[in-house]
Amino acid sequence: MSGVQRATASDSNAITSPLLSVRDLRVRFGTKRGVAHVVNGLSYDVAPGETVAIVGESGSGKSVGVMALLGLVPQPPGRVEGDVWFEGRNLATASERELRQVRGNRVAMVFQDPMTSLNPVLTIGRQLGESLRLHHGASRREADARAVELLDLVGIPSPRQRLGDYPHQFSGGMRQRVMIAMGVVTNPSLLIADEPTTALDVTTQAQIVELVQELQQRLGMAIVWITHDLGVVAGLAHRVLVMYAGRIIESGIVDDLLGDPRHPYTRGLLASLPRPGRDRPARLFAIPGLPPDPVALPAGCAFWERCSYRLDDTERDSVPALREVAPGHHVACVYDVPAIERT
């Protein structure tokens, strides 16, 4: 399964104990139609300073998976099981009070739509300073000074003047920067970003990605970045986890995963991306069918129905386990996909 080493080969980091360790995380929801199994046994580690990308489409459980890490899944109607080890504590069994000490303090979260995460009736200065005053007892002056520092850090021009502005006075890209500023204000060791650039223009996205990378260099925080965009992953992540129907179906160093994808779903995703220029395929590959309904998950491999590589009925009954196909590269598939390709 996911290793603990830093991803880039050029790094000479020693093997350190993981900052975040998720073990067999499961999340179910009670719905009118039955129990929805949204996250089904998620296990992975994140090393300090590392960027792990979680890739999946809607229904893959990627968002619920990280909400569950910080106890943000309402229980009921949800039910969360499993362990989440962070800085020596198991967040899954922590009290609400302990969790609040962690959220916004040791772990920062940035969401897709900054407009809904920011309070429209409070100034940016107030909101930025909130976690400082809350977690560190800073005075109003201290908090403001730090807020100005941060706005500057995230590249917002004229930060002192902007302290008194309200969220709607900022553009989408700026608001996302403010969210990031709010995230790093307490110098967290982990930043969780859930599709932070999906709603942004591609040029703004490039700016935000660059900003996050700079911040990571400076502050040494680890990042869990959730996205459906494999291009962003290529430029940002050290390691990648691909999720489907609530499980990790492939994981590895980004070069390995994108260069040599072993799971039929990963291959399908990559093949369905339009590639302009010399490599333009005459026709895009399209994975047929739809992802399974979380209320009615198949007994075996969740991707079996749509798989173009399946040779027989083997995986209809048992969920394939993750197996290591190359150092640090794990796939939940019984077939040797490259071999099938060659025939």
Q: How far apart are CA 26 and CA 81, in angstroms?
A: 5
Q: Out of 92, 254, 325, 333, which residue is the one contacting another protein (CB under 8 A)?
A: 254
DSSP structure class, residue 249: E
202: contact with another protein by CB under 8 A: yes
| Tokens at 97, concatenated | 């009070």
208 and 197 Cβ atoms separated by less than 8 Å: yes
183: contact with another protein by CB under 8 A: no
Name the nearest CA neighbour of 62 among 39, 46, 41.
39
220: contact with another protein by CB under 8 A: no
Q: Which is nearer to another protein, 188 or 291 (CB)?
A: 291
Number of residues that bind another protein (CB under 8 A): 68
Q: Out of 14, 137, 276, 342, which residue is the one contacting another protein (CB under 8 A)?
A: 276
- DSSP per position, 28-56: EEEETTEEEEEEEEEEEEE-TT-EEEEE-
137: contact with another protein by CB under 8 A: no
Q: Which is nearer to another protein, 38 or 191 (CB)?
A: 38
Q: Out of 290, 312, 313, 342, which residue is the one contacting another protein (CB under 8 A)?
A: 290
30: contact with another protein by CB under 8 A: yes
16: contact with another protein by CB under 8 A: no
Report the Cα 28 to chain-centroid distance in Å: 19
Q: Which is nearer to another protein, 41 or 134 (CB)?
A: 41
Beta bridge partners of 247: 244
Q: Which is nearer to another protein, 45 or 229 (CB)?
A: 229
Torsion of CA 316, 317, 319, 323, to 10 degrees: -80
Q: Out of 140, 160, 275, 316, which residue is the one contacting another protein (CB under 8 A)?
A: 275
Percent helix / strand / coil, the chain, rounded to 5: 35, 20, 40
Residues that bind another protein (CB under 8 A): 29-33, 36, 38-39, 57-64, 67, 77-78, 171-174, 201-207, 209-210, 228-235, 246, 254-255, 258-259, 268-270, 272-290, 294
